[in-house]
Structure 1
Protein backbone atom coordinates (compact mmCIF):
# COMPACT_ATOMS: atom_id res chain seq x y z
CA UNK A 1 0.00 0.00 0.00
CA UNK A 2 1.10 3.55 -0.76
CA UNK A 3 2.58 4.97 2.46
CA UNK A 4 1.61 8.52 1.52
CA UNK A 5 3.48 11.79 2.03
CA UNK A 6 5.74 12.29 5.04
CA UNK A 7 7.28 15.45 6.45
CA UNK A 8 9.61 15.72 9.45
CA UNK A 9 10.09 18.81 11.60
CA UNK A 10 11.65 19.24 15.06
CA UNK A 11 11.32 15.56 15.96
CA UNK A 12 7.72 15.27 14.71
CA UNK A 13 6.72 13.14 11.74
CA UNK A 14 3.59 14.15 9.84
CA UNK A 15 2.02 11.71 7.37
CA UNK A 16 -0.91 12.07 4.99
CA UNK A 17 -2.18 9.34 2.71
CA UNK A 18 -4.79 9.72 -0.03
CA UNK A 19 -5.97 6.61 -1.85
CA UNK A 20 -9.05 5.78 -3.97
CA UNK A 21 -12.47 4.99 -2.58
CA UNK A 22 -12.78 1.53 -1.01
CA UNK A 23 -13.92 -1.36 -3.18
CA UNK A 24 -16.65 -3.89 -2.40
CA UNK A 25 -14.54 -6.37 -0.42
CA UNK A 26 -13.05 -3.88 2.09
CA UNK A 27 -16.45 -2.16 2.39
CA UNK A 28 -18.10 -5.47 3.37
CA UNK A 29 -15.37 -6.06 5.94
CA UNK A 30 -15.78 -2.56 7.36
CA UNK A 31 -19.56 -2.96 7.51
CA UNK A 32 -19.18 -6.17 9.49
CA UNK A 33 -16.78 -4.60 11.98
CA UNK A 34 -18.74 -1.35 12.40
CA UNK A 35 -22.19 -2.89 12.61
CA UNK A 36 -23.59 -0.19 10.30
CA UNK A 37 -23.45 0.41 6.56
CA UNK A 38 -20.71 2.93 5.74
CA UNK A 39 -21.34 6.14 3.75
CA UNK A 40 -21.62 6.19 -0.03
CA UNK A 41 -18.02 7.29 -0.45
CA UNK A 42 -15.63 5.80 2.07
CA UNK A 43 -11.90 6.48 1.84
CA UNK A 44 -10.91 3.83 4.33
CA UNK A 45 -7.19 3.90 3.51
CA UNK A 46 -6.82 7.66 3.89
CA UNK A 47 -5.08 8.94 7.00
CA UNK A 48 -3.64 12.05 8.61
CA UNK A 49 -1.15 11.36 11.40
CA UNK A 50 1.14 13.33 13.71
CA UNK A 51 3.85 11.31 15.46
CA UNK A 52 6.54 12.07 18.03
CA UNK A 53 8.77 8.96 17.87
CA UNK A 54 10.96 9.92 20.85
CA UNK A 55 7.95 9.39 23.11
CA UNK A 56 6.26 6.74 20.96
CA UNK A 57 3.26 9.09 20.78
CA UNK A 58 0.86 9.74 17.91
CA UNK A 59 -2.55 11.08 17.00
CA UNK A 60 -4.20 9.78 13.84
CA UNK A 61 -7.39 10.53 11.94
CA UNK A 62 -8.96 7.72 9.90
CA UNK A 63 -12.40 6.83 8.60
CA UNK A 64 -13.02 3.61 10.53
CA UNK A 65 -12.41 5.09 13.99
CA UNK A 66 -14.49 8.15 13.08
CA UNK A 67 -17.42 6.02 11.93
CA UNK A 68 -17.13 3.87 15.05
CA UNK A 69 -18.16 7.01 16.99
CA UNK A 70 -21.43 7.32 15.02
CA UNK A 71 -24.60 6.67 17.03
CA UNK A 72 -25.44 3.13 15.91
CA UNK A 73 -29.02 3.38 17.17
CA UNK A 74 -29.62 6.83 15.76
CA UNK A 75 -31.71 7.83 18.76
CA UNK A 76 -30.60 11.45 19.08
CA UNK A 77 -31.03 12.47 15.46
CA UNK A 78 -34.31 10.61 14.91
CA UNK A 79 -35.95 11.93 18.06
CA UNK A 80 -34.90 15.52 17.47
CA UNK A 81 -35.17 15.90 13.72
CA UNK A 82 -36.76 13.02 11.80
CA UNK A 83 -40.32 14.29 12.29
CA UNK A 84 -39.36 17.69 10.92
CA UNK A 85 -37.54 16.09 8.01
CA UNK A 86 -40.47 13.77 7.27
CA UNK A 87 -42.78 16.77 7.08
CA UNK A 88 -40.45 18.58 4.70
CA UNK A 89 -40.38 15.49 2.47
CA UNK A 90 -44.02 14.41 2.77
CA UNK A 91 -44.34 14.08 -1.00
CA UNK A 92 -41.17 12.01 -1.30
CA UNK A 93 -41.92 8.85 0.64
CA UNK A 94 -39.35 6.83 -1.31
CA UNK A 95 -36.62 9.24 -0.22
CA UNK A 96 -37.70 8.88 3.39
CA UNK A 97 -37.47 5.10 3.23
CA UNK A 98 -34.00 5.42 1.73
CA UNK A 99 -32.59 7.84 4.28
CA UNK A 100 -34.18 7.01 7.64
CA UNK A 101 -32.21 3.98 8.75
CA UNK A 102 -31.90 2.35 12.19
CA UNK A 103 -28.70 4.32 12.91
CA UNK A 104 -27.58 7.92 12.60
CA UNK A 105 -27.90 8.18 8.82
CA UNK A 106 -26.14 11.57 8.86
CA UNK A 107 -22.95 9.80 10.04
CA UNK A 108 -22.39 12.54 12.62
CA UNK A 109 -19.28 11.87 14.68
CA UNK A 110 -17.62 13.53 17.66
CA UNK A 111 -14.31 11.96 16.65
CA UNK A 112 -11.29 13.79 18.08
CA UNK A 113 -8.59 11.51 16.69
CA UNK A 114 -7.03 8.20 17.71
CA UNK A 115 -4.26 8.74 20.27
CA UNK A 116 -1.50 6.23 21.01
CA UNK A 117 1.12 6.40 23.73
CA UNK A 118 1.67 8.67 26.72
CA UNK A 119 1.26 11.30 28.01
CA UNK A 120 -2.51 11.75 27.83
CA UNK A 121 -4.34 14.96 27.03
CA UNK A 122 -5.49 16.95 30.07
CA UNK A 123 -7.98 19.81 30.27
CA UNK A 124 -6.52 23.29 29.82
CA UNK A 125 -7.69 26.88 29.63
CA UNK A 126 -4.94 27.91 27.22
CA UNK A 127 -6.47 28.35 23.77
CA UNK A 128 -4.81 27.78 20.43
CA UNK A 129 -2.88 31.02 19.68
CA UNK A 130 -4.74 32.22 16.62
CA UNK A 131 -2.53 35.30 16.30
CA UNK A 132 0.45 33.05 15.57
CA UNK A 133 -1.49 31.16 12.91
CA UNK A 134 -2.41 34.43 11.18
CA UNK A 135 1.23 35.37 10.67
CA UNK A 136 2.53 35.12 7.07
CA UNK A 137 4.95 32.32 7.93
CA UNK A 138 6.15 30.06 5.11
CA UNK A 139 4.04 26.96 4.53
CA UNK A 140 6.47 24.05 4.45
CA UNK A 141 3.83 21.37 3.94
CA UNK A 142 0.12 21.37 3.18
CA UNK A 143 -2.31 18.59 2.40
CA UNK A 144 -6.03 17.88 2.61
CA UNK A 145 -8.01 14.69 2.31
CA UNK A 146 -11.51 13.27 2.66
CA UNK A 147 -12.27 10.38 5.01
CA UNK A 148 -15.92 9.88 4.02
CA UNK A 149 -18.81 11.56 2.25
CA UNK A 150 -22.52 10.89 1.68
CA UNK A 151 -25.24 12.88 -0.11
CA UNK A 152 -28.02 11.68 2.22
CA UNK A 153 -30.11 10.38 -0.69
CA UNK A 154 -29.78 13.72 -2.50
CA UNK A 155 -31.16 15.61 0.50
CA UNK A 156 -27.96 17.25 1.69
CA UNK A 157 -24.38 16.29 2.39
CA UNK A 158 -22.29 14.86 5.16
CA UNK A 159 -18.49 14.87 5.00
CA UNK A 160 -15.47 14.27 7.21
CA UNK A 161 -12.21 15.79 5.99
CA UNK A 162 -8.72 16.73 7.23
CA UNK A 163 -6.31 19.55 6.46
CA UNK A 164 -2.71 19.82 7.66
CA UNK A 165 -0.57 22.96 7.51
CA UNK A 166 3.05 22.99 8.69
CA UNK A 167 5.04 26.16 9.32
CA UNK A 168 8.67 26.39 10.53
CA UNK A 169 7.73 26.72 14.23
CA UNK A 170 4.31 25.07 14.48
CA UNK A 171 1.62 23.04 12.76
CA UNK A 172 -2.16 22.92 12.65
CA UNK A 173 -4.35 19.96 11.76
CA UNK A 174 -8.09 20.47 11.27
CA UNK A 175 -10.46 17.51 11.13
CA UNK A 176 -13.90 18.81 10.17
CA UNK A 177 -17.27 17.08 10.11
CA UNK A 178 -19.82 19.02 8.03
CA UNK A 179 -23.46 18.08 7.63
CA UNK A 180 -26.29 19.85 5.81
CA UNK A 181 -29.69 18.18 5.97
CA UNK A 182 -31.85 20.23 3.61
CA UNK A 183 -34.70 22.16 5.26
CA UNK A 184 -33.72 20.77 8.66
CA UNK A 185 -30.24 21.28 10.09
CA UNK A 186 -26.62 22.35 9.69
CA UNK A 187 -23.92 20.76 11.84
CA UNK A 188 -20.16 21.41 12.01
CA UNK A 189 -17.80 19.62 14.38
CA UNK A 190 -14.17 20.72 14.31
CA UNK A 191 -11.17 19.10 15.94
CA UNK A 192 -8.01 21.20 15.78
CA UNK A 193 -4.61 19.84 16.80
CA UNK A 194 -1.98 22.55 17.26
CA UNK A 195 1.69 21.73 17.83
CA UNK A 196 4.28 24.27 19.00
CA UNK A 197 7.56 22.64 17.98
CA UNK A 198 9.83 24.61 20.31
CA UNK A 199 8.05 23.52 23.49
CA UNK A 200 6.60 20.22 22.21
CA UNK A 201 3.18 21.37 23.40
CA UNK A 202 0.18 19.79 21.69
CA UNK A 203 -3.22 21.47 22.07
CA UNK A 204 -6.44 19.79 20.98
CA UNK A 205 -9.61 21.86 20.62
CA UNK A 206 -13.02 20.39 19.82
CA UNK A 207 -15.96 22.63 18.89
CA UNK A 208 -19.43 21.43 17.88
CA UNK A 209 -21.74 23.90 16.16
CA UNK A 210 -25.36 23.42 15.17
CA UNK A 211 -28.25 25.48 13.82
CA UNK A 212 -31.59 24.94 12.12
CA UNK A 213 -31.59 25.22 8.35
CA UNK A 214 -34.01 28.15 8.11
CA UNK A 215 -32.08 30.15 10.71
CA UNK A 216 -28.84 29.75 8.75
CA UNK A 217 -30.60 30.61 5.50
CA UNK A 218 -31.93 33.80 7.09
CA UNK A 219 -28.50 34.79 8.42
CA UNK A 220 -26.98 34.30 4.97
CA UNK A 221 -29.68 36.46 3.38
CA UNK A 222 -29.00 39.20 5.91
CA UNK A 223 -25.37 39.13 4.75
CA UNK A 224 -26.40 39.30 1.11
CA UNK A 225 -25.42 35.67 0.51
CA UNK A 226 -28.21 34.24 -1.63
CA UNK A 227 -26.37 31.79 -3.87
CA UNK A 228 -26.49 28.03 -3.26
CA UNK A 229 -22.69 27.86 -3.01
CA UNK A 230 -22.82 29.49 0.44
CA UNK A 231 -24.97 26.62 1.73
CA UNK A 232 -22.23 24.18 0.75
CA UNK A 233 -19.25 26.03 2.18
CA UNK A 234 -18.51 25.25 5.85
CA UNK A 235 -15.92 28.04 5.94
CA UNK A 236 -18.68 30.59 5.29
CA UNK A 237 -21.15 28.88 7.58
CA UNK A 238 -19.05 28.12 10.66
CA UNK A 239 -19.46 31.50 12.36
CA UNK A 240 -23.22 31.45 11.74
CA UNK A 241 -23.73 28.30 13.80
CA UNK A 242 -23.73 28.66 17.60
CA UNK A 243 -21.40 26.46 19.63
CA UNK A 244 -23.27 23.64 21.39
CA UNK A 245 -20.35 21.64 22.81
CA UNK A 246 -16.60 21.85 23.13
CA UNK A 247 -13.42 20.88 24.92
CA UNK A 248 -9.84 22.14 25.20
CA UNK A 249 -6.92 19.87 26.11
CA UNK A 250 -3.13 19.97 26.16
CA UNK A 251 -0.12 17.73 26.63
CA UNK A 252 3.66 18.28 26.62
CA UNK A 253 5.93 15.73 24.96
CA UNK A 254 9.23 16.84 26.57
Structure 2
Protein backbone atom coordinates (compact mmCIF):
# COMPACT_ATOMS: atom_id res chain seq x y z
CA UNK A 1 0.00 0.00 0.00
CA UNK A 2 1.27 3.46 -0.89
CA UNK A 3 0.73 5.89 1.94
CA UNK A 4 1.89 9.21 3.28
CA UNK A 5 3.68 8.90 6.59
CA UNK A 6 5.38 10.80 9.36
CA UNK A 7 9.09 10.04 9.28
CA UNK A 8 11.45 10.65 12.19
CA UNK A 9 14.24 13.01 11.21
CA UNK A 10 17.50 11.30 10.32
CA UNK A 11 20.13 12.26 12.93
CA UNK A 12 23.13 14.31 11.86
CA UNK A 13 21.86 15.22 8.46
CA UNK A 14 22.84 18.53 6.84
CA UNK A 15 19.46 18.52 5.14
CA UNK A 16 17.51 18.28 8.39
CA UNK A 17 17.95 21.79 9.78
CA UNK A 18 15.71 24.49 8.32
CA UNK A 19 12.88 22.33 7.00
CA UNK A 20 10.40 24.28 4.92
CA UNK A 21 6.70 23.95 4.23
CA UNK A 22 7.59 22.25 0.95
CA UNK A 23 8.48 19.01 2.66
CA UNK A 24 7.20 15.71 1.27
CA UNK A 25 7.05 12.15 2.59
CA UNK A 26 6.16 9.02 0.69
CA UNK A 27 6.29 5.32 1.56
CA UNK A 28 6.24 2.26 -0.70
CA UNK A 29 7.18 -1.32 0.10
CA UNK A 30 10.16 -1.22 2.51
CA UNK A 31 11.26 2.25 1.47
CA UNK A 32 10.64 5.71 2.87
CA UNK A 33 11.24 8.72 0.61
CA UNK A 34 11.60 12.30 1.83
CA UNK A 35 12.29 15.56 0.01
CA UNK A 36 12.69 19.12 1.25
CA UNK A 37 12.82 22.34 -0.74
CA UNK A 38 13.66 25.74 0.76
CA UNK A 39 15.24 29.14 0.02
CA UNK A 40 18.88 29.75 -0.86
CA UNK A 41 21.59 30.20 1.72
CA UNK A 42 22.25 33.78 2.83
CA UNK A 43 25.36 35.35 1.31
CA UNK A 44 26.70 36.51 4.68
CA UNK A 45 26.41 35.84 8.39
CA UNK A 46 22.93 36.46 9.81
CA UNK A 47 23.85 36.63 13.52
CA UNK A 48 27.34 38.10 13.71
CA UNK A 49 27.33 38.77 17.46
CA UNK A 50 26.62 35.13 18.29
CA UNK A 51 28.65 33.64 15.42
CA UNK A 52 31.75 35.77 16.07
CA UNK A 53 31.80 34.64 19.67
CA UNK A 54 31.51 31.01 18.64
CA UNK A 55 34.10 31.41 15.87
CA UNK A 56 36.59 32.82 18.38
CA UNK A 57 36.45 29.66 20.48
CA UNK A 58 36.10 27.19 17.61
CA UNK A 59 39.45 25.62 16.81
CA UNK A 60 40.34 25.80 13.13
CA UNK A 61 42.77 23.64 11.18
CA UNK A 62 46.03 25.06 9.81
CA UNK A 63 44.56 24.93 6.32
CA UNK A 64 41.88 27.51 7.14
CA UNK A 65 41.79 30.19 4.46
CA UNK A 66 42.46 27.79 1.59
CA UNK A 67 39.73 25.67 -0.01
CA UNK A 68 41.62 22.37 -0.10
CA UNK A 69 40.80 19.70 2.50
CA UNK A 70 41.26 15.98 2.82
CA UNK A 71 38.19 13.77 3.22
CA UNK A 72 39.06 13.19 6.86
CA UNK A 73 39.44 16.93 7.49
CA UNK A 74 36.08 17.61 5.89
CA UNK A 75 34.27 14.90 7.86
CA UNK A 76 35.88 15.99 11.13
CA UNK A 77 34.89 19.61 10.50
CA UNK A 78 31.32 18.62 9.65
CA UNK A 79 30.84 16.49 12.76
CA UNK A 80 32.42 19.14 14.96
CA UNK A 81 30.74 22.25 13.58
CA UNK A 82 27.41 21.52 11.88
CA UNK A 83 25.35 21.09 15.04
CA UNK A 84 27.03 23.94 16.89
CA UNK A 85 24.12 26.01 18.20
CA UNK A 86 26.12 29.24 18.22
CA UNK A 87 26.49 29.42 14.45
CA UNK A 88 24.13 30.49 11.69
CA UNK A 89 23.85 28.24 8.68
CA UNK A 90 26.05 30.46 6.51
CA UNK A 91 28.88 30.31 9.05
CA UNK A 92 28.56 26.54 9.28
CA UNK A 93 29.06 26.22 5.52
CA UNK A 94 31.91 28.74 5.61
CA UNK A 95 33.80 26.99 8.42
CA UNK A 96 33.21 23.43 7.26
CA UNK A 97 34.05 23.95 3.58
CA UNK A 98 36.44 26.94 3.82
CA UNK A 99 35.60 27.77 0.21
CA UNK A 100 36.74 31.05 -1.29
CA UNK A 101 33.20 31.54 -2.56
CA UNK A 102 30.04 29.45 -2.36
CA UNK A 103 27.82 29.07 -5.43
CA UNK A 104 25.52 32.07 -5.89
CA UNK A 105 22.52 29.83 -5.22
CA UNK A 106 23.24 27.25 -2.53
CA UNK A 107 20.11 25.46 -1.33
CA UNK A 108 21.40 24.58 2.13
CA UNK A 109 18.20 22.95 3.43
CA UNK A 110 17.28 21.02 0.27
CA UNK A 111 17.62 17.27 0.26
CA UNK A 112 16.41 13.96 -1.04
CA UNK A 113 16.49 11.08 1.45
CA UNK A 114 15.81 7.37 0.93
CA UNK A 115 15.48 5.03 3.91
CA UNK A 116 15.40 1.24 3.62
CA UNK A 117 13.52 0.14 6.73
CA UNK A 118 14.82 -3.43 6.97
CA UNK A 119 18.55 -2.66 6.72
CA UNK A 120 18.17 0.90 8.12
CA UNK A 121 20.41 2.10 5.29
CA UNK A 122 19.92 5.77 4.44
CA UNK A 123 20.97 7.33 1.14
CA UNK A 124 20.78 11.09 1.10
CA UNK A 125 21.59 13.89 -1.32
CA UNK A 126 22.19 17.32 0.25
CA UNK A 127 23.93 20.57 -0.67
CA UNK A 128 26.70 20.53 1.94
CA UNK A 129 28.02 17.10 0.96
CA UNK A 130 27.53 17.90 -2.73
CA UNK A 131 29.98 20.79 -2.34
CA UNK A 132 32.59 18.73 -0.46
CA UNK A 133 34.29 17.18 -3.55
CA UNK A 134 35.00 20.70 -4.81
CA UNK A 135 37.41 21.34 -1.93
CA UNK A 136 38.66 17.75 -1.67
CA UNK A 137 39.33 16.93 -5.34
CA UNK A 138 39.21 20.28 -7.15
CA UNK A 139 38.59 19.03 -10.69
CA UNK A 140 38.60 22.40 -12.41
CA UNK A 141 38.99 22.48 -16.18
CA UNK A 142 41.37 20.19 -18.09
CA UNK A 143 45.02 21.24 -17.94
CA UNK A 144 45.89 23.71 -20.67
CA UNK A 145 42.31 24.86 -21.23
CA UNK A 146 42.39 28.56 -20.40
CA UNK A 147 39.27 30.66 -20.64
CA UNK A 148 38.49 34.33 -20.16
CA UNK A 149 35.55 33.33 -17.97
CA UNK A 150 37.87 32.49 -15.08
CA UNK A 151 39.31 36.01 -15.06
CA UNK A 152 35.86 37.54 -15.35
CA UNK A 153 34.60 35.37 -12.49
CA UNK A 154 37.40 36.62 -10.25
CA UNK A 155 36.97 40.28 -11.25
CA UNK A 156 33.26 40.09 -10.47
CA UNK A 157 34.04 39.00 -6.91
CA UNK A 158 37.21 40.86 -6.03
CA UNK A 159 35.40 42.98 -3.42
CA UNK A 160 34.16 39.91 -1.58
CA UNK A 161 36.19 39.30 1.59
CA UNK A 162 36.29 35.58 0.87
CA UNK A 163 37.83 36.00 -2.58
CA UNK A 164 40.57 38.56 -1.87
CA UNK A 165 43.18 35.82 -1.90
CA UNK A 166 41.49 33.52 -4.38
CA UNK A 167 44.24 34.04 -6.99
CA UNK A 168 46.64 32.36 -4.58
CA UNK A 169 44.23 29.59 -3.64
CA UNK A 170 43.66 26.31 -5.36
CA UNK A 171 40.00 27.13 -5.96
CA UNK A 172 37.78 25.36 -8.47
CA UNK A 173 35.64 28.19 -9.85
CA UNK A 174 33.64 25.66 -11.94
CA UNK A 175 32.27 24.04 -8.74
CA UNK A 176 32.78 20.60 -10.35
CA UNK A 177 31.56 17.79 -8.10
CA UNK A 178 31.21 14.05 -8.63
CA UNK A 179 28.98 13.73 -5.55
CA UNK A 180 27.21 10.38 -5.53
CA UNK A 181 25.23 10.55 -2.30
CA UNK A 182 25.75 10.29 1.44
CA UNK A 183 25.26 6.99 3.27
CA UNK A 184 24.14 6.77 6.87
CA UNK A 185 23.06 4.17 9.37
CA UNK A 186 19.75 5.00 11.03
CA UNK A 187 19.67 4.62 14.79
CA UNK A 188 16.77 3.00 16.65
CA UNK A 189 17.72 4.99 19.73
CA UNK A 190 15.62 8.13 19.49
CA UNK A 191 17.45 9.66 22.46
CA UNK A 192 20.83 9.58 20.73
CA UNK A 193 22.49 12.91 20.03
CA UNK A 194 22.80 14.03 16.37
CA UNK A 195 26.60 13.92 16.61
CA UNK A 196 26.41 10.25 17.64
CA UNK A 197 24.79 9.19 14.38
CA UNK A 198 27.03 7.11 12.18
CA UNK A 199 27.91 8.26 8.68
CA UNK A 200 29.07 5.34 6.52
CA UNK A 201 32.10 5.77 4.29
CA UNK A 202 32.09 3.81 1.00
CA UNK A 203 35.82 3.11 1.42
CA UNK A 204 35.44 1.52 4.87
CA UNK A 205 33.45 -1.41 6.36
CA UNK A 206 30.63 -2.15 6.63
CA UNK A 207 29.62 -0.18 3.52
CA UNK A 208 32.71 -1.14 1.52
CA UNK A 209 31.70 -4.78 1.93
CA UNK A 210 28.19 -4.09 0.60
CA UNK A 211 29.33 -2.14 -2.48
CA UNK A 212 30.84 -4.34 -5.16
CA UNK A 213 31.59 -3.79 -8.88
CA UNK A 214 29.18 -5.47 -11.28
CA UNK A 215 28.67 -6.03 -15.00
CA UNK A 216 24.92 -5.57 -14.60
CA UNK A 217 23.60 -2.30 -16.00
CA UNK A 218 20.52 -0.20 -15.41
CA UNK A 219 18.02 -0.94 -18.16
CA UNK A 220 17.45 2.58 -19.45
CA UNK A 221 15.13 1.36 -22.22
CA UNK A 222 12.86 -0.15 -19.58
CA UNK A 223 12.75 3.18 -17.78
CA UNK A 224 11.67 4.90 -21.01
CA UNK A 225 8.48 2.82 -21.13
CA UNK A 226 5.50 4.93 -20.08
CA UNK A 227 4.09 3.70 -16.78
CA UNK A 228 2.48 5.02 -13.64
CA UNK A 229 4.55 7.37 -11.46
CA UNK A 230 3.58 7.14 -7.81
CA UNK A 231 6.00 9.79 -6.58
CA UNK A 232 8.26 12.32 -8.29
CA UNK A 233 10.36 15.26 -7.16
CA UNK A 234 13.35 17.26 -8.37
CA UNK A 235 15.54 19.08 -5.87
CA UNK A 236 18.15 21.72 -6.66
CA UNK A 237 21.30 21.58 -4.53
CA UNK A 238 23.29 24.51 -5.95
CA UNK A 239 23.73 26.68 -9.04
CA UNK A 240 26.12 29.41 -10.18
CA UNK A 241 26.09 31.38 -13.44
CA UNK A 242 29.90 31.79 -13.53
CA UNK A 243 29.69 35.57 -13.82
CA UNK A 244 27.36 35.24 -16.85
CA UNK A 245 29.85 33.02 -18.69
CA UNK A 246 27.92 29.78 -18.37
CA UNK A 247 26.35 27.69 -15.64
CA UNK A 248 27.32 25.16 -12.99
CA UNK A 249 24.43 23.36 -11.37
CA UNK A 250 23.78 20.29 -9.26
CA UNK A 251 20.37 18.70 -8.71
CA UNK A 252 18.77 15.37 -7.88
CA UNK A 253 15.47 13.88 -8.95
CA UNK A 254 13.56 10.72 -8.14
CA UNK A 255 10.79 8.69 -9.79
CA UNK A 256 8.97 5.97 -7.91
CA UNK A 257 6.96 3.50 -10.02
CA UNK A 258 4.80 0.59 -8.82
CA UNK A 259 7.69 -1.85 -9.37
CA UNK A 260 10.87 0.25 -8.97
CA UNK A 261 12.46 3.61 -8.28
CA UNK A 262 15.11 5.59 -10.13
CA UNK A 263 17.33 8.44 -8.88
CA UNK A 264 19.50 10.76 -10.96
CA UNK A 265 21.93 13.16 -9.30
CA UNK A 266 23.51 15.38 -11.95
CA UNK A 267 26.20 18.02 -11.94
CA UNK A 268 26.25 20.00 -15.19
CA UNK A 269 28.84 22.56 -16.29
CA UNK A 270 28.75 24.77 -19.36
CA UNK A 271 31.47 27.36 -19.93
CA UNK A 272 30.10 29.35 -22.87
CA UNK A 273 31.81 28.60 -26.19
CA UNK A 274 34.45 26.54 -24.36
CA UNK A 275 33.51 23.40 -22.44
CA UNK A 276 30.73 21.13 -21.13
CA UNK A 277 30.85 18.50 -18.38
CA UNK A 278 28.49 16.08 -16.63
CA UNK A 279 28.98 14.07 -13.46
CA UNK A 280 25.97 11.71 -13.19
CA UNK A 281 24.99 9.26 -10.47
CA UNK A 282 22.10 6.94 -11.26
CA UNK A 283 20.54 4.62 -8.67
CA UNK A 284 17.98 1.98 -9.62
CA UNK A 285 16.09 -0.53 -7.47
CA UNK A 286 13.36 -3.06 -8.22
CA UNK A 287 11.09 -3.56 -5.24
CA UNK A 288 11.54 -7.01 -3.75
CA UNK A 289 15.20 -7.35 -4.77
CA UNK A 290 18.01 -7.23 -2.22
CA UNK A 291 20.26 -4.75 -3.98
CA UNK A 292 20.51 -1.43 -5.81
CA UNK A 293 22.39 -0.65 -8.99
CA UNK A 294 24.48 2.51 -9.02
CA UNK A 295 26.09 3.96 -12.13
CA UNK A 296 28.54 6.88 -11.85
CA UNK A 297 29.64 8.46 -15.11
CA UNK A 298 31.67 11.42 -16.32
CA UNK A 299 30.99 13.04 -19.71
CA UNK A 300 32.88 16.06 -21.02
CA UNK A 301 34.06 17.77 -24.18
CA UNK A 302 35.32 21.02 -25.61
CA UNK A 303 32.31 22.61 -27.27
CA UNK A 304 34.21 22.97 -30.54
CA UNK A 305 34.69 19.20 -30.64
CA UNK A 306 30.95 18.47 -30.47
CA UNK A 307 30.53 19.37 -34.16
CA UNK A 308 27.12 20.92 -33.60
CA UNK A 309 25.57 23.15 -36.22
CA UNK A 310 25.04 26.74 -35.14
CA UNK A 311 21.26 26.36 -34.92
CA UNK A 312 21.51 23.06 -33.05
CA UNK A 313 24.13 24.37 -30.62
CA UNK A 314 22.04 27.35 -29.57
CA UNK A 315 19.17 25.08 -28.60
CA UNK A 316 21.14 22.22 -27.06
CA UNK A 317 23.63 24.17 -24.97
CA UNK A 318 20.85 25.60 -22.81
CA UNK A 319 19.17 22.22 -22.43
CA UNK A 320 21.38 19.80 -20.43
CA UNK A 321 19.00 16.89 -20.89
CA UNK A 322 19.02 17.13 -24.70
CA UNK A 323 22.72 18.00 -24.92
CA UNK A 324 23.74 14.96 -22.86
CA UNK A 325 23.46 12.51 -25.77
CA UNK A 326 26.02 14.51 -27.77
CA UNK A 327 28.75 14.59 -25.10
CA UNK A 328 31.19 11.63 -25.08
CA UNK A 329 31.67 9.52 -21.97
CA UNK A 330 35.04 9.69 -20.22
CA UNK A 331 34.53 7.32 -17.30
CA UNK A 332 31.93 4.85 -15.99
CA UNK A 333 31.77 2.91 -12.70
CA UNK A 334 28.91 0.49 -11.97
CA UNK A 335 28.28 -0.93 -8.49
CA UNK A 336 25.83 -3.28 -6.85
CA UNK A 337 24.84 -2.15 -3.34
CA UNK A 338 23.52 -5.03 -1.24
CA UNK A 339 20.68 -4.25 1.17
CA UNK A 340 21.90 -6.46 3.99
CA UNK A 341 20.66 -6.47 7.61
CA UNK A 342 24.33 -6.98 8.54
CA UNK A 343 24.85 -3.25 8.15
CA UNK A 344 23.38 -2.79 11.61
Q: Same fold (TM over 0.5)?
A: yes
User: Compared with structure 1, are the counterparts of its residues 73 and 238 closer, same or farther at alpha carbon in structure 2 (3 Å cutoff)?
Assistant: closer
> 1:8 aligns to what?
27
> 1:252 aligns to what?
338
Task: Tell me, yes or no, if the aligned pair for 1:12 and 1:51 is still in contact at 8 Å.
Answer: yes
Residue 134 (structure 1) shift: 2.1
- 1:225 partner SS: helix
From 24, 43, 50, the equivalent of 2:114 is: 50
From 18, 21, 29, the equivalent of 2:40 is: 21
Residue 78 (structure 1) shift: 7.2
Q: Which deviations, in whole Å up to 9, do the C-alpha atoms of 1:113-167 show, x marking residues without a partner?
A: 0112455321111001223212222000111111000000111000001111000
From 230, 241, 257, the equivalent of 1:167 is: 257
Q: Which deviations, in whole Å up to 9, do the C-alpha atoms of 1:35-77 show, x marking residues without a partner?
A: 1021000001000111102211011111111111114684753
User: Compared with structure 1, are the counterparts of its residues 215 and 105 closer, same or farther at alpha carbon in structure 2 (3 Å cutoff)?
Assistant: same
User: Compared with structure 1, are the counterparts of its residues 225 and 115 closer, same or farther at alpha carbon in structure 2 (3 Å cutoff)?
Assistant: same
Structure 2 unaligned blocks of 5 or more:
1-18, 46-88, 158-165, 186-205
User: Compared with structure 1, are the counterparts of its residues 73 and 98 closer, same or farther at alpha carbon in structure 2 (3 Å cutoff)?
Assistant: farther
- Residue 142 in 1 paired to residue 161 in 2? no
- Residue 176 in 1 paired to residue 266 in 2? yes
- Residue 34 in 1 paired to residue 124 in 2? no
User: Compared with structure 1, are the counterparts of its residues 79 and 9 closer, same or farther at alpha carbon in structure 2 (3 Å cutoff)?
Assistant: same
Query: d(CA) in 1 for partners of 2:323 and 2:123?
Result: 27
Structure 1 unaligned blocks of 5 or more:
none
- Residue 97 in 1 paired to residue 155 in 2? yes
Query: d(CA) in 1 for partners of 2:237 and 2:219?
Result: 27
Range moving further from structure 2, 116-125 or 95-104: 95-104
Query: d(CA) in 2 for partners of 1:200 and 1:132?
Result: 19
User: Compared with structure 1, are the counterparts of its residues 41 and 201 closer, same or farther at alpha carbon in structure 2 (3 Å cutoff)?
Assistant: same
Per the normalisation by structure 2, the TM-score is 0.66
- Residue 131 in 1 paired to residue 221 in 2? yes
From 325, 329, 339, the equivalent of 1:243 is: 329
Query: d(CA) in 2 for partners of 1:50 and 1:68?
Result: 20
From the CA coordinates, give the structure whose radius of gyration is larger: 2
Range moving further from structure 2, 34-43 or 124-133: 124-133
Root-mean-square deviation over aligned CA pairs = 2.3
- 1:183 partner SS: coil
> 2:14 aligns to what?
none
Greater share of residues in strand: 1
Task: Tell me, yes or no, if the aligned pair for 1:192 and 1:205 is still in contact at 8 Å.
Answer: yes
From 299, 304, 307, the equivalent of 1:214 is: 304
Per the normalisation by structure 1, the TM-score is 0.87
Query: d(CA) in 1 for partners of 2:181 and 2:271?
Result: 25
The count of corresponding residues between Structure 1 and Structure 2 is: 244
Query: d(CA) in 1 for partners of 2:227 and 2:253?
Result: 17
Task: Tell me, yes or no, if the aligned pair for 2:140 and 2:176 is still in contact at 8 Å.
Answer: no
